[in-house]
Amino acid sequence: MKQPFRTALIGASALLVLLCVAMGWFYVQIHAETGPISAVEISIPHGASSPRIADQLVQADVISSAFVFRLYARLTGRAAHLRSGYYSFAGPASLQQVVERLVQGDVMPFQVTIPEGLRTDEVLTLLAAQTGVPLTLWQAALHQLLPHDDEGRLLPETYQYTRPVNAKRLLRSMLRAQEDILEKLADSDAQRNRLRVMASIIEKETALASERPIVAAVIRNRLERHMPLQMDPTVIYGIWKTHGSFSGNIRRKDLLSDTPWNTYTRRGLPPTPIGNPGADSLRAAAHPTDVDALYFVADGKGGHVFASTLAEHQANVRRWIGIERRQNRIREKNTVAK
C-alpha cells in the first residue's frame, strides 16, 4: 500500500470517527432533558430571530446551549417557523421538545369572563383591567368594528386568548358569538336588533334563568297592548347615557325625567339595548312563555312574582313592601346589637 493512499485512508477514518462523535454529541445535546427549577414565562417578540430566541431560552435556563439550538433549528428547517407569544416552561424538557413547542405555537392560554348585562363601556374597562391592554386601544378597536352603535352587540361569555393580546380579534369573536346565536333566532337585521333590546332588558330585570321567558312574555304582552313597559333599568340607562353617571338610587323624579330610554315616559322599546345580554336572555326574547302576565315585582327570595291584572299586582306590591319593612327592622336591630 502506497504511503499517500494509506495517509488519506487514515485521515478519512479519523474524520469519520470525529463525525460520528460529533453526531453522537449533537444527538445527546438535543435529546438531553434540561429545564428551569421552577416555572418561567418567556415572551417571544413578533419577528424575533432564532439567535435572539436562543439567548432568551438560555437566560431562562430552559436550554443549556444557544449554539445547539440555532444549529438544530437551522438543520431541521425550523428556524423560520418559530412563533412569537407568551410561553411557560416548567420541569425538564429536551431541546427538541422546546423547538417543537415554539414551532407549534404552544403558547400560554389566557381567558377572560364577561358577566351578563354589562354596558359596552363596562366590558371594555373590564378587558383593559384583565389583559393589561390600555382602555383607549380597546375603544379604538371596537370603533373600527362598530363605527356607530356599539351597545349590546357583545356576547357575555368566557373567552380564550393569547398574548400579546389582539384586541380587535378578541372583540370580533365576541361580536361573532352573538351573531351566531341571533342568526338562528331571527331572519332580518330589524328582528335581531329587536331581540337585542328585549334581551338586554330581560338581563337587567332578572338573574334567574327560569324567569327570563316570563319577563320576555311581560314585555311582549305590554307591547301588544300598547302599554308603556315601565322597566326601571331602562330609566337608569337613560340617566347614565345623558348624564354620564347614575347615583345608584332611582327616584320618582327619575321615572318622570324623559330620555329616549325612559319606558315610563315613552311607549315601545328603547332605541338601543341597555347592556350586553347573555345567550339565555336572547333565546328568551325570541321565545317568551305563553302566559298573560303584565306585571312583576320582587318576591323577597331573589325572584319575582308575576300578575296578569293590576289588582293582583298591587296586592303583590303591598306584600313586597311589607317584606322590605320587616327586613329593614331586622337590619336596624342587628346594627343596634353591634
Same domain, 77 and 123: no
DSSP secondary structure string, 293-337? Answer: --EEEE-SSSSEEEESSHHHHHHHHHHHHHHHHHHHHHHHHHHHH
Q: Is residue 24 part of a domain?
A: no
Q: Which residue has the cell 416555572?
A: 39
The pLDDT of residue 12 is: 55
Last residue of a domain, one of 183, 218, 247: 183
* Digit-coded pLDDT (tens) for 20-74: 555 555 555 666 677 677 788 899 998 899 999 999 999 988 888 898 889 888 9
Last residue of a domain, one of 85, 104, 123: 104
* More confident: 128 or 20: 128
Same domain, 250 and 315: yes
Same domain, 63 and 155: no
Q: Is 46 left (phi over 0), alpha (psi -120 to 50) or beta?
A: beta
Same domain, 301 and 263: yes
Last residue of a domain, one of 75, 104, 133: 104
Asked whether the beta carbons of 162 and 88 are under 8 A apart, the reply is no
Count CA atoms within 13 Å of residue 240 on its CB side. 18
Q: Is residue 245 part of a domain?
A: yes
* Digit-coded pLDDT (tens) for 202-227: 999 999 999 999 999 999 999 999 99
The pLDDT of residue 242 is: 92
CA dist 48 to 2, 41, 70, 89, 164, Å?
A: 55, 16, 13, 18, 14
Same domain, 211 and 325: yes
* Digit-coded pLDDT (tens) for 224-275: 999 999 999 999 999 999 998 888 888 899 999 999 999 999 999 999 999 9
Q: Is residue 253 part of a domain?
A: yes
Confidence of residue 160 (pLDDT cuts 50, 70, 90): very high
pLDDT of residue 83 exceeding 70: yes
The pLDDT of residue 308 is: 96
Q: Which residue has the cell 431541546?
A: 95
- Distance, in Å, from the CA atom of 310 to the CA atom of 72, rounded to the nearest integer, reads 80
- Distance, in Å, from the CA atom of 319 to the CA atom of 229, rounded to the nearest integer, reads 22
Q: Is residue 196 part of a domain?
A: no
Q: Is residue 309 part of a domain?
A: yes
Domain tally, the chain: 3
- 123-138 CB burial, b ≥16 within 10 A, e <16: bbebbbeebebeeebb
Same domain, 311 and 231: yes
The pLDDT of residue 121 is: 96
Of 24-28, 102-106, 183-187, 288-292, which range is least confident? 24-28
The CA-CA-CA angle for residues 12, 18, 23, to 5°, reads 125
Same domain, 241 and 293: yes
**pLDDT above 70: percentage of residues in the chain:** 87
pLDDT of residue 338 exceeding 70: no
Of 77-81, 92-96, 140-144, which range is least confident? 92-96
Count Cβ atoms within 10 A of the Cβ of residue 51 and give its class: 0-12 exposed, 13-18 middle, 19 or more buried: middle
Same domain, 161 and 227: no
- Distance, in Å, from the CA atom of 167 to the CA atom of 128, rounded to the nearest integer, reads 10
* More confident: 295 or 332: 295
- Distance, in Å, from the CA atom of 206 to the CA atom of 224, rounded to the nearest integer, reads 21
Count Cβ atoms within 10 A of the Cβ of residue 206 and give its class: 0-12 exposed, 13-18 middle, 19 or more buried: buried
Of 43-47, 275-279, 321-325, which range is least confident? 321-325
* Digit-coded pLDDT (tens) for 162-214: 888 999 999 999 999 999 999 999 999 999 999 999 999 999 999 999 999 99
Non-local CB neighbours of 196 within 8 Å, separated by 6+ positions: 152, 153, 178, 182, 273, 277, 282
The CATH number of residue 57's host domain is 3.30.1490.480
Same domain, 314 and 222: yes
Q: Is residue 134 part of a domain?
A: yes
Same domain, 98 and 140: no
- Distance, in Å, from the CA atom of 92 to the CA atom of 97, rounded to the nearest integer, reads 10
Q: Is residue 258 part of a domain?
A: yes
Same domain, 158 and 90: no
Domain with 171, as residue range(s), is 110-183
Asked whether the beta carbons of 130 and 112 are under 8 A apart, the reply is yes
The pLDDT of residue 322 is: 85
Same domain, 174 and 225: no
- Distance, in Å, from the CA atom of 159 to the CA atom of 169, rounded to the nearest integer, reads 11
The pLDDT of residue 323 is: 80
pTM of the model: 0.81
Taking alpha carbons only, the member of 304, 286, 306, 284 closest to residue 294 is 306
> 3-class SS at 11?
helix
Q: Is residue 22 part of a domain?
A: no
Amino acid at 106: D
Q: Which phi and psi (to 5°) does residue 304 adopt?
A: -135, 160
